[in-house]
């Protein structure tokens, strides 16, 4: 099973470790685009991928039964458009897009062009704010580096949270990533897939019931990264807004995101987005 090596998945790591389910899975951690490559190559059976990636590969992957996602109903704290000038000044400007992201970069392009009404020029580059702003007027970033910008906004920069912008524009939550399973694996091992989904849902619930302990563990994890330790309060606030559920509102949000992307000629796959019906335990599958 894959695991995103960002702090957005620290509560699930904590929950899986505390339920004892962690040992049942062979877990590999990495950035979301690397996990997507491993899934496509068949080296990984299940894991979290960027929503935009999933929408391009609905032929190869299905959503975990009952659904597990990374989303927010409003600000997400870690997926931003960072700029010196207001967004409506970005017409004709250069916007650097993080190569680590598929969903937020597409969402930012939709927001800039269709909600704000500007037409920037885009450049996909490795994620690093300083390097990005050397070559561009604005940058789209995700993950821990973006969370650090939210926690300590640098002087002179505007940190525009794409979850908040999307919510303000559409009234919907945003789903940034979803857990998928390869179709062959879902067909051949339906009960194992169901157990995996149940373990992840349980981990999210457990973590939600212990916000301070989770924030403490995540702060310790953040201290081991080059960006340095994030405060427990920043992490408590982060996990209060992050939502791992994939219910009707999130599915509606995914459809709306796909519809708006398709209107631009992107992500035109027609398959239903609903998670597969979980097989009945002990029943024929
Ligand atoms: C909330 C986040 O969710 C993510 C955003 C992704 C994207 O923009 O493509 C992909 C996976 C998740 O890591 C984040 O990374 O901060």
177 in contact with ligand 1, CB cutoff 6 A: yes
162 in contact with ligand 1, CB cutoff 6 A: no
40 C-alpha to ligand 1 centroid (Å): 18
Q: Which of 111, 143, 170 is the last residue of a domain?
A: 170
Q: Whose CA is nearest to atom 12 of ligand 1?
A: 177
pLDDT at 49: 98
Dist. CA 173–CA 252, nearest whole Å: 9
Dist. CA 190–CA 198, nearest whole Å: 12
Average pLDDT estimate for 183-187: 97
What per-residue string of b and e applies to 141-167 under the rule 16 or more CB within 10 Å gives b? bbbbbbbbbbbeeeeebebbbbbbbbb
What is the token pair recorded at 245?
């559920």
Q: Which of 170, 186, 203 is the last residue of a domain?
A: 170
124 and 57 part of one domain: no
135 falls within a domain: yes
162 and 191 part of one domain: no
58 and 188 part of one domain: yes
148 falls within a domain: yes
Tally of domains in the chain? 2
Dist. CA 71–CA 51, nearest whole Å: 10
102 in contact with ligand 1, CB cutoff 6 A: yes
Indicate which atom in ligand 1 lies nearest the CA of residue 242.
1
101 C-alpha to ligand 1 centroid (Å): 6
Dist. CA 152–CA 138, nearest whole Å: 18
133 falls within a domain: yes
pLDDT tens digits, one per residue of 197-242: 999 999 999 999 999 999 999 999 999 998 999 999 999 999 999 9
Q: Whose CA is nearest to atom 15 of ligand 1?
A: 143
The three state secondary structure string of 59-73 is CCEEECCCCEEEEEC
Ligand 1 mutation target, pool 11, 30, 32, most atoms within 8 A of CB: 32
162 and 186 part of one domain: no
Q: Whose CA is nearest to atom 10 of ligand 1?
A: 50
145 and 84 part of one domain: yes
273 falls within a domain: no
pLDDT at 273: 74
166 and 180 part of one domain: no
154 and 180 part of one domain: no
207 C-alpha to ligand 1 centroid (Å): 19
165 and 189 part of one domain: no
Question: Which CATH number is 232's domain given?
Answer: 3.40.190.10
129 falls within a domain: yes
- Find where tokens 């029943």 sit: 283
pLDDT tens digits, one per residue of 72-131: 999 999 999 999 999 999 999 999 999 999 999 999 999 999 999 999 999 999 999 999
Q: Which of 155, 170, 185 is the last residue of a domain?
A: 170
88 falls within a domain: yes
Question: What is the predicted ipTM?
Answer: 0.98
87 and 164 part of one domain: yes
141 falls within a domain: yes
Q: Which residues constitute the domain of residue 18?
A: 2-71+175-262
Whether 277 shows a pLDDT value over 70: the answer reads no
Of the chain, the end-to-end C-alpha distance in Å amounts to: 22
153 and 192 part of one domain: no
The three state secondary structure string of the chain is CEEECCHHHHHHHHHHHHHCHHHHCCCEEECHHHHHHHHHCCCCCEEEEEHHHHHHCCCCEEECCCCEEEEECCCCCCEEEEECCCHHHCCCCEEEEECCCCHHHHHHHHHHHHHHCCCCEEEEECCCHHHHHHHCCEEEEEHHHHHHHHHCCCCCCEEEEHHHHHHHHHCCCEEEEEEEEEHHHHHHCHHHHHHHHHHHHHHHHHHHHCHHHHHHHHHHHHHCCCCCCCCHHHHHHHHHHCEEECCHHHHHHHHHHHHHHHCCCCCCCCCCCCCCCCCCCCCCC
Average pLDDT estimate for 42-69: 96
11 in contact with ligand 1, CB cutoff 6 A: no
Q: In which band, very low, low, confident or very high, does the pLDDT at 278 lie, cut at 50, 70 and 90?
A: low
Dist. CA 254–CA 69, nearest whole Å: 11
64 and 183 part of one domain: yes
Whole-prediction pTM: 0.94
Average pLDDT estimate for 28-36: 97
107 falls within a domain: yes
51 in contact with ligand 1, CB cutoff 6 A: no
116 and 256 part of one domain: no
101 in contact with ligand 1, CB cutoff 6 A: yes
64 C-alpha to ligand 1 centroid (Å): 18
264 C-alpha to ligand 1 centroid (Å): 21
Phi, psi of 131 (to 5 degrees): -65, -40
- Find where tokens 């857990």 sit: 179
């Amino acid at each position: 099973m894959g695991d995103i090596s960002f702090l957005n998945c620290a509560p699930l790591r904590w929950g899986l470790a505390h339920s004892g389910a962690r040992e049942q899975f062979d877990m590999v951690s990495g950035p979301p685009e690397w996990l997507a490559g491993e899934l496509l190559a068949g080296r990984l059976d299940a894991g979290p991928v960027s929503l935009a990636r999933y929408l391009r590969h609905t032929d190869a992957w299905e959503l975990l039964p009952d659904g597990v996602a990374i989303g927010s109903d409003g600000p997400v704290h870690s997926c931003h458009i960072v700029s010196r000038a207001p967004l409506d000044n970005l017409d004709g400007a250069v916007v650097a897009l993080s190569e680590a992201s598929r969903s937020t970069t597409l969402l930012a392009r939709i927001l800039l062009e269709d909600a704000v009404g500007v037409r920037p020029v885009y450049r996909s580059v490795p994620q690093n704010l300083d390097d990005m702003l050397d070559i561009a007027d604005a940058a789209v970033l995700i993950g821990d580096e973006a969370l650090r910008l939210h926690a300590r906004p640098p002087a002179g920069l505007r940190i525009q949270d794409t979850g908040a912008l999307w919510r303000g524009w559409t009234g919907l939550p945003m789903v940034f990533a979803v857990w998928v399973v390869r179709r062959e694996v879902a067909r051949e091992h339906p009960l194992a897939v169901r157990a995996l989904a149940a373990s992840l849902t349980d981990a999210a619930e457990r973590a939600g019931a212990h916000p301070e302990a989770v924030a403490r563990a995540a702060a310790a994890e953040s201290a081991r990264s080059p960006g340095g330790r994030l405060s427990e309060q920043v992490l408590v606030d982060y996990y209060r807004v992050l939502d791992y559920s994939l219910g009707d509102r999130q599915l509606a949000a995914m459809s709306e995101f796909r519809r708006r992307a398709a209107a631009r000629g992107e992500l035109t796959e027609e398959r239903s987005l609903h998670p597969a019906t979980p097989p009945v335990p002990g029943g024929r599958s």
